[in-house]
Structure 1
């Protein structure tokens, strides 16, 4: 089976992908700091840590919307 390889022009994609990666990293850091400081969350903290880590941008947003409990 022959798989066609394509040449990707990264100079065109970099201005689109790089800001998304930076936003993702910033959101993850803020979510992890918030999770660490939180006394109580909706669900175990270790589960939220895995969701934040592996679900990328949506995991961090889900933690802020669903996971945090009001004090």
Structure 2
């Protein structure tokens, strides 16, 4: 069973809830996907920043290049 979350929505949050439920969708069904959609850009930004940091890491790039060279010797053809 899922946990229950309680919060006090302000006017903007109420308007958002009303927009999400205006077609009869229950709040309990409308809120989870809205939260996931809202979090997606933030998560993507963190992943992008991590990728950029790895791309700028000379030691990591050298290690990755060495792995690729090692893997090339294992090719059957």
TM-score by length of 1: 0.37
Determine which structure has more spread, i.e. the larger CA radius of gyration: 2
- Greater RCO, 1 or 2 (C-alpha within 8 Å, sep 6+): 1
TM-score by length of 2: 0.35
